[in-house]
Amino acid sequence: MEILKTLDFATWTPVLQNDEAVDSTRALESGQVALLPHLSFELAADERHLLSPQWSDGKAKNISYDPQTRMVKHTSATGADHEAIGRMMGRYAESAHKLVGSLFPAYAKGIRIGRTSYRPVEAGGRSSSIRKDDRLLHVDAFAASPVQGERILRIFSNINPNGKPREWTLGEPFDDLAPRFLPKIPKPFPGSSWLLKTLGITKGKRTDYDHYMLQLHDQEKLDSHYQQTCPKTAVSLPAGSTWIVYTDLVPHAVKSGQYCLEQTFYLPVAAMQEPALSPLRKLEKWVGRKLV
């Protein structure tokens, strides 16, 4: 299977024939990265000054925006700059939302928009801990925010003004990755999901699915031998491009790059074109029981 599925659209509202939409959805669900090399997210003249690492608060990895509340978090910006960051990220959230609606019309009913992130800091720099280090190959899973079986679909745009690509590495297919690590993953501790929620460690119940995905995420990052020796492919994501990937399915790592916008979406497995391709259904098959 090709790693990239190139889509030649240069608009956030492309019009697809039905078979084209089925085809792009199948590519994504099968674990390809949909790359739109000519779809750039344009900044207005009075937004260019937002391209600086100074707007990060220096603690969190990313500046974060909630499209529902329009709240911006983890930025040092105040006043007009803070508002400008919110406007830029809000516009990105809207553009990304339109794009998924156009490319994957079958998802319209089930899809839910999550947080928007802006990544103005060089990604090749240092990280605070191995678990938080996205320069290591991993599938996405959130310790504090369980997805309870839902898919994590992400849209990224490289908005680097100097033509610098974002360099990623992609790992082996989930069908090779998960069975490799599953035997090392301890069973969820009875009562732990209740305890984590009661103590306020998780927002919502950490299901057995979340347990397995978080363990996969952690074990893959913590295994330095695996990181060095596993099958991998380098992918260069050009400045001025946009790409879409199921980051819960496709092991990925960012090696370098600066200035990126990202929009997260959640999708129930039942809303997929082919639910059997979900990490939930695959893990349930391997573990031999229901996980949510």
Q: Summarize as ranges the residues that interact with ligand SIN (CB under 6 A).
A: 119, 123, 134, 166, 247, 252, 254, 260
Residue 215 backbone phi and psi in degrees, to 5: -65, -40
Residue 166 near which of ligand SIN, Fe ion, none (CB within 5-8 Å, type-dependent): ligand SIN
For residues 282 and 100, give the distance between their C-alpha atoms in angstroms, rounded to a whole number: 24
How many CA atoms within 13 Å lie on the side-chain side of 160? 17
Please work out the total of residues on this chain that contact Fe ion, with binding judged by CB under 5 A. 2
Question: Which of 291, 114, 272 is closest to 214 using CA atoms?
Answer: 291
Residue number with CB closer to ligand SIN (25 or 160): 160
Instruction: Classify 258 as helix, strand or coil.
Output: coil
Q: Supply the minimum distance, in Å, between the C-beta of residue 72 and Fe ion.
A: 21
Residue number with CB closer to Fe ion (5 or 119): 119
Pair 92, 41: CB distance under 8 Å: yes
220 binds Fe ion (CB under 5 A): no
The full length of the chain comes to 292
Q: Supply the minimum distance, in Å, between the C-beta of residue 28 and Fe ion.
A: 16
140 binds Fe ion (CB under 5 A): yes
Question: Which of 69, 126, 114 is closest to 256 using CA atoms?
Answer: 126
| CA-to-CA dists, residue 77 to 44, 82, 91, 258, angstroms | 18, 5, 18, 18
Widest CA span of the chain, in angstroms? Answer: 55
Residue number with CB closer to ligand SIN (21 or 261): 261
Residue number with CB closer to ligand SIN (81 or 167): 167
Q: Supply the minimum distance, in Å, between the C-beta of residue 135 and ligand SIN.
A: 8
Region of 36-44, 140-148, 197-205, 220-228 interacting with Fe ion (CB under 5 A): 140-148
Q: Supply the minimum distance, in Å, between the C-beta of residue 48 and Fe ion.
A: 27
Binding interface with Fe ion (CB under 5 A): 140, 247
